[in-house]
Amino acid sequence: MALIVGLTGGIVGGKSTIASMFKDLGAKIIDADKLGHSVILPHKPTWKKIVNLFGKDILRNNLTIDREKLGKTVFTNQTLLKKLNEITHPEIIKMIKKEIDLVKNTTHNQGKILIIDAALIYEAKIDRLMDKIIVVYINEDEQVKRLTERNNLSKEEALQRIKSQIPMKEKVKMADYVIDNSSSLNKTKKQVEKIWEELMSLADSG
């Protein structure tokens, strides 16, 4: 069978790096963030709904949505964040389901592994679509450090973004596999390879 695996974790946890390690080993990767970018392109239905809700102030000159500006608005207002997710999540989930169906219904994909790289697997309640889920773990202090450096945010702003997701400890409890990404890349890679071996044997035995 084809194995559908969710890859999730906290914000700035290093999921993309880990996804590319799995890709190097032979997994097919679906990047939910890229799907998210594609559903909010100018004049698409989702784009229109977002502009109706937030106004044209969130648009750049070329009419694309300024995600940074939008982020600063929604992460300080849980109601607006919820409304934004209600607009974007169904469209992204639709695209993920399409990709999953494609892999499951194609005979040459037997024994293959499809990894869905998505930050909000539990929040968007799409964990039921996955055979297994991997959570990438880093502690909150490290999250704050990476987020303030990467997005040029204050500590308070960084914490608001972290708190908008299900707590890391909860995700770890729900996971089938946990990768601790707070140490060296080499240590992370070893964990990835070990999980990959287990996933391969599951896919082959199915």
pLDDT tens string 134-144: 999 999 999 99
Q: 15: buried, middle or exposed (CB in 10 Å: 19+, 13-18, 0-12)?
A: buried
Indicate the pairing of strand 177-180 with strand 132-137: parallel
Pick from 113, 90, 89: nearest CA to 100:
113
The two structure tokens encoding residue 140: 């909150």
Model's pTM, two decimal places? 0.91
| Residue 25: domain span | 3-205
Number of domains composing the chain: 1
65-68, Cβ contacts within 8 angstroms, sequence gap of 24 or more: 65/40, 68/151
pLDDT at 205: 81
Q: 24: buried, middle or exposed (CB in 10 Å: 19+, 13-18, 0-12)?
A: exposed
Mean pLDDT of 83-107: 91
Task: Check which CATH number belongs to the domain holding 198 and give it.
Answer: 3.40.50.300
- Assign 107 a pLDDT band (cuts: 50, 70, 90): low
Q: Give strand pairing partners of 136.
A: 9, 179
For residue 13, report the phi and psi dihedrals to the nearest 5 degrees. Answer: -80, -10
C-alpha span between 72 and 78 (Å, rounded): 12
